[in-house]
Structure 1
């Protein structure tokens, strides 16, 4: 059992010299028992292993009496390193004097190679991750800068359209000016979505300027009127029952409504109205946008609020696929939630956020004073 064990055995004398070696180790390293007998164990280690064994393993072995699973490289008769994993035990007499040391060794070539490959794979993955993060940040910074720089020429187009509108005389001229203005509104919405998406990915999130002292209804009216102008021939019905102040960012809520109504106009039935309803009830602000038409497929429901997701949409309303994602982020920033239900009768997006009672009381006091 000793000679032909599946692992190598070495017995050392107290002075560290080899007393006995089994055939398994001799077969691995190519030396003879006569050649190894009487020599120090460290003589058959490479330089690094020799230093490690003499300065670290041997002293601890003397103190502890054992040392488990240390890696060490022996040198074969051909001068090649042989990677090993070793366990060592000292035999001592009743007085604690060392009598011998036994080492059990197993080949660790595959294991050490596997460990090195794991470390290399980890380093490669870390490098790739850092590179991807840098690339992602650069890409999103580029998007943010591009979106910001697009505002200036868009503002010039809008101003030019207004000037031309004051001098337009024929119906054709008024029609072209109206088309320019609606295009500017749509482009502004796309730029806003791109900027918000870039800010969110760069860690800034959706910024809010909440104010409960100003009415929300005028903003909703303005957004709906702009969408009616941009979608001639489409009917948008709006119903508001906002009885208490709403502590929100009015422009962001307007953006949310614009995105939801724009989505309903794109996907809803063209001969049925889009229905917008905003109410305050039971301590909540609830806003819904509903349309008739084909229900949303089950496969698409789970992806609706993901960035760049677009379902089947009319060619005239192709977008970036950011509208619903930005709307959901605006809802989240208001400690609210945007949900969707879709049946053959109706598809309805609903935004619900809590009303801040403290803010409401403060606002009521301001109005009374």
Structure 2
């Protein structure tokens, strides 16, 4: 475009430093002898002067020009017509020049030529600024990803290391519970057991979250399970012991065998039920239902109380999402996220509906016999 606008045979974008004129891009139809990457001593060029006064230089007939007829640069490089426009970055930094030359005279000293090449130089400067901004954003993104990766690794290591002392506390509490008879002492022991049980759940949630972030999702190992009902009953009783003030009603009817991860489905119910008894109105019971409907396992947990704001419903299954009313000790905000990941690992779906009339209901739907493997072609379609 520069050659077309000026009619000159050589055009270049150059980086101009204190020492060198460095060719960045060149279009040469007069075999001027320069290629991208070539360096020229900047003191021998007119661009050296442009870097100081930051003004365009343009002339069409050097040998007859009152200033450049005696200037050493046209004679050194053998050109008659010349135009060079400074490239100025948004921060005022001088980058280099957009220039064109030819060995023959040319009528280029017109406002149109100067205006067009000035616009071209501004476009180059804007592109350089945009590229720098993009590079900075990419570096910041990489730094943030690395920070996130290290944070997740730290969480995983911390959660793993907390298991050992917690197991010791649990075993000690169980041993004391088997030996004491005083009611007040047993009450304290039961408080310790309840707290360690809650701590264990928190640690497992943290570990699962870290595994999911570091390894592409929470692992789900599906097997043929005949006694899922007993696992769900066990979870409900465990939550009852941890929340003695809560009333839990249950309807568990799973008459068929299911291909699932028994432990993970129990964890799914534990997280949903724990969330319900924590945030529900204690004057009303929490209802747990599990049944097989249309070759699907459906698990739902419903509690009464203040409905969840519509704008928050879509955020509930994201990590670290907590109710503003939870306060200190309300959990890490990972339970529902992990529940959703467990459902996802089974190829199922999870949803929530919350109204003042019917309460808040979380429903997880899982296929009974797994999800068939999809080929890349099937996934593409």
After TM superposition, the score normalised by the length of structure 2 is 0.71
Cross-structure match for 1:62: none
Tell me the CA shift for residue 44 of structure 1. Answer: 5.4
1:166/1:290 CA distance change after superposition, 3 Å:
same
1:46/1:202 CA distance change after superposition, 3 Å:
farther
Matched, 1:219 2:231: yes
Partner-residue secondary structure (3-state), 2:251: strand
Q: Is there any run of 5+ residues in structure 2 with no aligned partner, and where?
A: 11-28, 33-54, 87-93, 373-381
Partner-residue secondary structure (3-state), 1:212: strand
Tell me the CA shift for residue 151 of structure 1. Answer: 0.4
C-alpha distance after superposition, 1:265-306 (max 9, x if no partner): 111110111111100121100000011111111121121111
Tell me the CA shift for residue 28 of structure 1. Answer: 4.1
Matched, 1:347 2:375: no
Cross-structure match for 2:98: 84
1:119/1:312 CA distance change after superposition, 3 Å:
closer
1:238/1:145 CA distance change after superposition, 3 Å:
same
Aligned partner of 1:110 among 117, 122, 125: 122
1:82/1:293 CA distance change after superposition, 3 Å:
closer
C-alpha distance after superposition, 1:24-53 (max 9, x if no partner): xxx94154735368x9xxx75999xx9xx9
Tell me the CA shift for residue 155 of structure 1. Answer: 0.3
Tell me the CA shift for residue 318 of structure 1. Answer: 1.1
Task: Report if the CA contact (8 A) 1:45-1:75 is conserved.
Answer: no
Tell me the CA shift for residue 326 of structure 1. Answer: 0.7
Matches within 5 A, 1:144-183: 144-183=156-195
Tell me the CA shift for residue 119 of structure 1. Answer: 2.2
Cross-structure match for 1:203: 215
Cross-structure match for 1:33: 61
1:208/1:81 CA distance change after superposition, 3 Å:
closer
1:29/1:269 CA distance change after superposition, 3 Å:
same
Task: Report if the CA contact (8 A) 1:46-1:75 is conserved.
Answer: no
Cross-structure match for 1:247: 259
Task: Report if the CA contact (8 A) 1:73-1:82 is conserved.
Answer: no
Matched, 1:306 2:318: yes
- Name whichever of 107-116 and 189-198 sits farther off: 107-116
For 1:102 and 1:248, locate their aligned partners in 2 and report how far apart those are by CA, in whole Å: 82
Query: Which 4+ runs in 1 deviate beyond 6 A?
Result: 14-17, 85-88, 99-105
For 2:150 and 2:85, locate their aligned partners in 1 and report how far apart those are by CA, in whole Å: 51
For 1:171 and 1:158, locate their aligned partners in 2 and report how far apart those are by CA, in whole Å: 19
Cross-structure match for 1:95: none
Q: For this pair of structures, how many residues does the alignment match?
A: 305
Cross-structure match for 2:17: none
Matches within 5 A, 1:60-79: 74=84
Matched, 1:321 2:333: yes
